Structures are given as structure tokens and as C-alpha cells.
A and B are shown apart, each in its own frame.
Chain A
Amino acid sequence: MSTTTLARDMRTRFYAELDPVLGDHPHAVLVLAVIGSGYLPAPAARRPDQVIDVGIREQALVGVAGGLALAGRRPVVHTFAPFLVERAYEQVKLDLGHQDVGALLVSAGASYDVSSGGRTHQAPADVALMSALPGWTVHVPGHADEVSEVLRREAGGTGRVYVRLSSQHNAAPHPVDGRLHLVRDGGADAPLVVAVGPMLDTVLAATADLPVRVAWTATPHPLDATGLRALAGPAPALAVVEPYLEGTSARAVAAALTDRPSRVLHVGVPVEGAELRRYGTPREHAAAHGLDAAGIRRRIAELLT
């Protein structure tokens, strides 16, 4: 496993925040299935009532979280994305959603972060899957400070929230307020490129010399439809660049723009690309999926022709 690439990223920040966050929110309970336990000797020892490791049992991970929520607690549930979202998907659907209770799910290992681990440790469809269930908010932070912001806010909340930590990140943080933010202007007529979460810096580099505007959000679901409509203009040419399954936001974008003629390009991890059958680095995987600056530039250039 590629621990070196994970060492100073959002995941490290998440673990570092847990002790103060659990202290601030006595109803919060961290629920683990081994992953992460090794990083938490202090909170686990100091707060046995607030840290539960169920072992390598992901169905129990989410089922127990549902029971905790039914008992009035605030579960913070964490493991790698494939095991949190895909392995326990029916538990997410029934033990949280159908019971009408909330939880804060925090995944690590976004898309191809664990490139050297292969397909078993990759779940680029996670945001699409979570967005297919009622009542969820999906945050895709682009910076460790954004992780802190979301965690501190949501640990005391009651909603169903999925937070997707990644080892890919931007140089600077932006507000995780659910809104679409215009990061680089270029005139109201210029095509709009929406970058989600950690794609921002790559998109800015890819489009540095292109006549486009760049907007950013850390919250692809629910998408800021009002903000998108305002920025897109009456006849939008639009690209959405997401670090996960290509087209994940297509439904939300289409719904926001039904009243106007629009050209929309979706850039992300292609469905077939999920079985790349290569190891290597996240950078190599980004290039293979066309999600490095050169690949994104090529795709957006299509939109400009």
C-alpha cells in the first residue's frame, strides 16, 4: 500500500482532528473497521466510549453506525472507499437511509489514490453510488483545511454526509459551503469549466492559456444548481471535471440546464478505465484516464472548437 503518498494528506489531518472533535461532541462516536485504528492510539485510549473498532467487518461497521444513530449518537464512520461504499452499500441504504438516521461517512483512498493497490482498493463510482441514495450530501474536499472545516461542522450535525478524502489536493483551501465559486474569470461569454475538489489546481494549469472561466465546488451532491445557472449563462458551453466516475454529475447538470441550449463535456474516470489493470502511481493513473493537465487540456480544447 502506498503509505508514503498518503502520509501528509487529508487523511492525516482527519486523524489529527478526531481527538478534539470527539471532545467537542460527546455524542459523536468514531466507528472503524481496523483501517485507521493504528493512527489513533490517543483517542482510542482516552475515549473508549467514543471509539469503536469492529474489526474487519464492514457490514457491521455500517450496521452498528445505524444502531448508534438510532440511539441518538452521531456516528463518524471511516474506512477505505471500496469497503465503506461498495461492500456495505445495502447497509448504507437501509441501516442509515431507510431508518431515516444520519451519519458522517469519511472515506480514504479516493479513485486511484491507492494506485499500487490495484482495482480491489479503488472505487471511482463512490460518488455516483452515494448520490443515488436519498438524502445524502457529498463533499469532495480539495485541501486538508477543508477536511477540518467539514469534520468540525458535521460531527455535531444530524444529516447523512459522505466526505471523500484524497491524497490529491490543491495548494490552497476554499470554503466548503455547498456553493459553486468562480475562481478564474474570463468574461461572461467564455466557456465555463467546473472543477470538483482536488481537480482545481490541475484544471487551472490545464486551462492557463485557454479562454475559459474556471469555477470550483467541493460539494458535487447536491450540486449548486442556482450557482451553476447563474454562471453558465443563457447558452452555456460547459465542462465538468471530476476526479471520479466520468459523468457522475451529468444528471444534476442536465437538470439545472433544462431551460437552455447547452453543450456539456464531462471529464472523469471512464467506466472502462476502472479496470486499468496497472499499478504504478496516482500520477500515472491520472494520465491514463486523461485527468492530468495535458489530458484535461485536450478534452476542453474539444469544447472550444
Chain B
Amino acid sequence: MTTTTTPPARVPEAVRALVRRVTGDEKHDPSAHSTLDTLWVLYDQVLRVDPHDPDHPDRDRFLLSKGHGPASTYAVLAAKGYFPADWLDDVASWDSRLGHHPDRTLVPGIEIGSGSLGHGLPLAVGMALGLRDRSPARVVVLVGDAELDEGSNAEAIAVAGRFGLGNLTCVVVDNHSDNLGWPGGIASRFALEGWDPAEVRTHDHPRLAAALRRTVADRPTVVVVDTSAKEATA
């Protein structure tokens, strides 16, 4: 266990304020907030993307599979300039491009329409297969620990491992919301299928960034982000 603690980087208050513009001042949607650290680190430090050229063929792809609670994704995209921040003020209204589940055809920077669980990882595997040897782009997909219940993920985890997709990273936001649990841990399940695993705590931004940057040439990587670790180590 580490003892050299540097103050953990924080998601800037301005970005948190953008999240609150979506969720309302007093509401704390755990589904949205559990992903905020990861999303901020990805867009601030890891992904090679350009908000002014969101369709560049060699851009890194970020897929929000866990389409529930997209508030933090919308906030980060707005903070990075993909669309005006005032889009955040009327989410899910008739005239809004932003809904409770995102639609890729309506929002710059949103790579897939999601909401029904268990679709992002298979789509990411297809994207990684389609881009491999043709583009330097990475494909990063974010899923939740409970979302892994969906059997489609088991299919995709096996396929990605067997095809050795070095351009694919799966981020599992583990907020321990899975009803039946994952004996042996989530990372070990990916590792068994040929993925290279890492486990990090959500508030440790330097380690989170390092884990998210890491790729392995001949295999996909998985980063399990424990959102309860702060409490566990306090």
C-alpha cells in the first residue's frame, strides 16, 4: 500500500458546476458522478481528440456504454468545447439534443447511442477490429460493473481477447452496484480471457491517467476503477 500521498487531482469546480447544470443543484445522481473522474481524466489527459474536428478519422473513440446517467459525459464534452454549455440546461426536453440516454446522431463527440446495457463493448470490439492496422486511433469504452451482467459483454470480452485487440481499452467503473457480485474480481475475469488488467481508485488521477494511457501491443487492456476505494482506505 502506498504511503507517499500527493494531493489527488480534482475534477475542476467549473466542470462539477456543469454536471450540476444537468442534474440540478442538490441532486447527486450516483450513476453520473461515479464516472466523472474517469471521464475528466480521459478527455483532459488521455484521449487524442479535437472538439473542433470531432469526426477526424484518426481520432480516439470514447464509447459511453453505460448510457444511464450521461450528465458527467455531457458536462465534460461541454467543458472541452464540443457544444455550448447552455445545452446542459434543458436536458431531455423536446428541443434538446441531450437526452437521458445519448444519441450519437444528435451530439458532437458522442460516438454511440447507448442506454440499453451491454451494447457498447461489442460495438467497441467491432470498431477496434475495423480500425486496426488502418488508423492509430484507440477505442476506449466505459461500462459499469452491474452492466457486465449482460451476457453480450461476455461474448465481446472473449472476442476482444482472442483477437488480441491492442487498440481497445475497457474501463469498468466499479461502484459495487452489481446485485450478485463477481467472485474473484472483475479484472481477473478479463485477464482470463487475454486482457491486460489494471485496478485503480477513482480519485487517484495520476494513476488513473497512467492506467488509461497504457496499451499493450498484442492484447486489449481493462482498467477497473473502484469508486468506493476512497471510503475503504479512509
| Partner-B contacts on A (CB < 8 A) | 29, 49, 52, 54-55, 57, 59-60, 62-73, 75, 90-91, 94-95, 98-100
> Contact: B129 with A70, CB < 8 Å?
no
C-alpha gap A75/B127 in the complex (Å): 11
> Contact: A55 with B130, CB < 8 Å?
no
> Contact: B156 with A60, CB < 8 Å?
yes
Taking the nearest CB of chain B, how far is it from the CB of A40, in angstroms?
17
> Contact: A60 with B125, CB < 8 Å?
yes
> Contact: A57 with B126, CB < 8 Å?
no
Q: A91-B122, A94-B119 given as contacts; is B112 within 8 A of A60 (CB)?
A: no
> Contact: B123 with A70, CB < 8 Å?
yes
> Contact: B119 with A63, CB < 8 Å?
yes
> Contact: A63 with B112, CB < 8 Å?
no
> Contact: B112 with A70, CB < 8 Å?
yes
B85 interface residue per 8 A CB criterion: no
Q: A59-B118, A60-B122 are in contact. List 14 more A-B contacts (CB 8 A).
A: A29-B129, A54-B155, A57-B158, A59-B151, A63-B121, A65-B126, A67-B125, A67-B126, A67-B129, A70-B112, A91-B119, A91-B152, A98-B113, A100-B104
Taking the nearest CB of chain A, how far is it from the CB of B97, in angstroms?
14
> Contact: A52 with B112, CB < 8 Å?
no
B8 interface residue per 8 A CB criterion: no
Cβ contact of A71, chosen from B104, B126, B151, cutoff 8 A: B126
Q: Which residue of B lies closest to A66 (CB)?
A: B123
Taking the nearest CB of chain A, how far is it from the CB of B174, in angstroms?
22
Q: Which residue of B lies closest to A52 (CB)?
A: B129
> Contact: A72 with B126, CB < 8 Å?
no
Cβ contact of A63, chosen from B122, B135, B163, cutoff 8 A: B122
Q: A55-B159, A60-B156, A60-B159 given as contacts; is B122 within 8 A of A95 (CB)?
A: yes
B177 interface residue per 8 A CB criterion: no
Cβ contact of A60, chosen from B104, B116, B133, B155, cutoff 8 A: B155
Taking the nearest CB of chain A, how far is it from the CB of B85, in angstroms?
26
Q: Which residue of B lies closest to A31 (CB)?
A: B126
Q: A57-B159, A63-B152 given as contacts; is B122 within 8 A of A70 (CB)?
A: no
B111 interface residue per 8 A CB criterion: yes
Shortest beta-carbon contacts, A-B, top 9:
A67-B126, A63-B122, A71-B130, A64-B126, A60-B155, A57-B155, A67-B127, A59-B152, A68-B130
C-alpha gap A70/B135 in the complex (Å): 13
B131 interface residue per 8 A CB criterion: yes
Q: Give chain B's interface secondary structure class.
A: helix
The count of A-to-B residue pairs whose CB atoms sit within 8 angstroms is 94
> Contact: B126 with A70, CB < 8 Å?
yes
Complex contacts, B116 vs chain A, CB 8 Å? 90, 94
> Contact: B57 with A72, CB < 8 Å?
yes
B32 interface residue per 8 A CB criterion: no
C-alpha gap A57/B135 in the complex (Å): 27
Taking the nearest CB of chain B, how far is it from the CB of A73, in angstroms?
4
Complex contacts, B159 vs chain A, CB 8 Å? 54-55, 57, 60, 64
> Contact: B123 with A67, CB < 8 Å?
yes
Complex contacts, A70 vs chain B, CB 8 Å? 111-112, 123, 126-127, 130
Complex contacts, B88 vs chain A, CB 8 Å? none
> Contact: B126 with A63, CB < 8 Å?
yes
Interface positions, chain B 92-142, Cβ under 8 Å from A, are 103-105, 111-113, 116, 118-119, 121-131, 133, 135
C-alpha gap A50/B163 in the complex (Å): 13
Taking the nearest CB of chain B, how far is it from the CB of A25, in angstroms?
14
Interface pairs (9), CB distance under 8 Å: A52-B163, A60-B125, A64-B125, A64-B159, A65-B126, A66-B126, A68-B126, A71-B129, A95-B119
Taking the nearest CB of chain A, how far is it from the CB of B155, in angstroms?
4
Complex contacts, B118 vs chain A, CB 8 Å? 59
C-alpha gap A95/B113 in the complex (Å): 8
C-alpha gap A29/B134 in the complex (Å): 14
Complex contacts, A69 vs chain B, CB 8 Å? 126, 130
> Contact: A60 with B127, CB < 8 Å?
no
> Contact: A64 with B111, CB < 8 Å?
no
C-alpha gap A304/B159 in the complex (Å): 57
Complex contacts, B123 vs chain A, CB 8 Å? 63-64, 66-67, 70, 95, 99
Complex contacts, B152 vs chain A, CB 8 Å? 59-60, 63, 91
C-alpha gap A69/B158 in the complex (Å): 21
C-alpha gap A63/B104 in the complex (Å): 16
> Contact: A64 with B57, CB < 8 Å?
no
Taking the nearest CB of chain A, how far is it from the CB of B118, in angstroms?
8
C-alpha gap A49/B105 in the complex (Å): 28
Complex contacts, B119 vs chain A, CB 8 Å? 63, 91, 94-95
Of A49, A64, A75, most B-chain CB atoms within 10 Å? A64
Complex contacts, B156 vs chain A, CB 8 Å? 60, 63-64
Q: Which residue of A lies closest to B57 (CB)?
A: A72
Complex contacts, A52 vs chain B, CB 8 Å? 129, 163
